[in-house]
């Protein structure tokens, strides 16, 4: 179990050390992945940004993902679930999430584009993986943008999702795969919600760190 997202992120960063100083691009999936991505990027001396990918909820249960859409419009659909919903319902969910994606890009990245990822190592990072829908959409997006290598990294996931991810990404780094896995939060002692302001603050903090490298250690304390 991890104490909090920072603790998990620092452990994850150590597991990814072969990518240190490789000019990799770390893309956190907001909002929880903003914390994980920040500390991983800081430790690896990598570029850091936030890739917005949103779940497409089932019409009868918004928490149940039928798929996801990445910020460039790339869509991933869960083959086993999508048979339960109509194309019209999927289109409605896509339209709703496109608006939320636009809002999040404006809030979390201040409208700025993602860094160039063509021919670069890309690490897609989150604080944990449940259904994996947003990660699968992000992988597809990075493939479209011709990333040289796509690595998915998170502190925790289920074994079934891990096997699926290994089929799509070039490498998958997961620290814990609990036998009885029902939610990301079970791997954390402290798992509060990350706000838009906190996610934006981490991106701004990273940017300031690049302008003043001595202002903060690349290996912060555990807490």
Q: How would residue 223 be classed by pLDDT, with cut points 50, 70 and 90?
A: very low
**Residue 81 pLDDT > 90:** no
Query: Averaged over 183-201, what is the pLDDT?
Result: 94
Average pLDDT, the chain: 92
- The crossing angle, in degrees rounded to 10, of helices 133-144 and 159-168 is 10
* Confidence at residue 214, expressed as pLDDT on a 0 to 100 scale: 55
Name the residue with tokens 């021919």. 119
pLDDT digits (tens, 9 = 90+) for 6-65: 999 999 999 999 999 999 999 999 999 999 999 999 999 999 999 999 999 888 887 788
Q: How would residue 159 be classed by pLDDT, with cut points 50, 70 and 90?
A: very high
Q: Which of 110, 112, 96, 124 is nearest to 26 (CA)?
A: 124
Query: Averaged over 122-149, what is the pLDDT?
Result: 97
Query: Averaged over 61-70, what is the pLDDT?
Result: 88
**Residue 150 pLDDT > 50:** yes
Computed on alpha carbons and rounded to an integer, the radius of gyration of the chain in Å comes to 17
Q: Are 25 and 122 in contact (CB under 8 A)?
A: yes
Query: Looking at the domain 5-51+117-215, which fold is it?
Result: Rossmann fold (3.40.50)
Residue 173 to residue 16: CA distance in whole angstroms = 8
**Residue 213 pLDDT > 70:** no
**Residue 177 pLDDT > 80:** yes
**129, two tokens:** 């993986």
Burial class (CB in 10 A: 0-12, 13-18, 19+), 106: exposed
**Residue 82 pLDDT > 80:** no
* Confidence at residue 13, expressed as pLDDT on a 0 to 100 scale: 98
Domain residue ranges of the chain, discontinuous segments joined by +: 5-51+117-215
Query: Averaged over 146-163, what is the pLDDT?
Result: 97
* Confidence at residue 134, expressed as pLDDT on a 0 to 100 scale: 96
Q: How would residue 218 be classed by pLDDT, with cut points 50, 70 and 90?
A: very low
Which pTM was predicted?
A: 0.92
pLDDT digits (tens, 9 = 90+) for 88-100: 999 999 999 999 9
Residue 128 to residue 183: CA distance in whole angstroms = 9
**Residue 3 pLDDT > 80:** yes
Q: Are 155 and 172 in contact (CB under 8 A)?
A: no
């Amino acid at each position: 179990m991890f104490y909090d997202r920072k603790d998990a992120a620092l452990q994850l960063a150590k597991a990814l050390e072969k990518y240190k100083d490789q000019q990799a691009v770390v893309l956190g999936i907001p909002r929880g992945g903003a914390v994980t991505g920040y500390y991983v990027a800081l430790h690896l001396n990598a570029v850091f940004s936030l890739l917005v990918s949103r779940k497409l909820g089932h019409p009868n249960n918004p928490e149940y993902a039928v798929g996801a859409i990445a910020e460039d419009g790339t869509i991933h659909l869960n083959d086993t679930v999508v048979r339960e919903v109509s194309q019209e319902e999927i289109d409605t969910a896509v339209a709703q999430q496109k608006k939320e994606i636009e809002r999040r890009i404006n809030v979390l990245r201040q409208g700025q584009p993602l860094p160039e990822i063509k021919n670069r190592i890309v690490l897609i990072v989150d604080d944990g993986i449940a259904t994996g829908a947003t990660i699968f959409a992000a992988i597809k997006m990075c493939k479209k943008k011709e990333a040289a290598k796509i690595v998915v990294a998170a502190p925790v996931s289920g074994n079934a999702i891990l096997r699926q991810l290994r089929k799509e990404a070039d490498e998958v780094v997961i620290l814990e795969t609990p036998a009885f896995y029902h939610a990301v939060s079970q791997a954390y002692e402290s798992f509060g919600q990350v706000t838009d302001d906190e996610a934006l603050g981490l991106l701004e903090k990273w940017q300031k760190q690049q302008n003043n490298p001595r202002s903060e250690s690349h290996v912060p304390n555990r807490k």
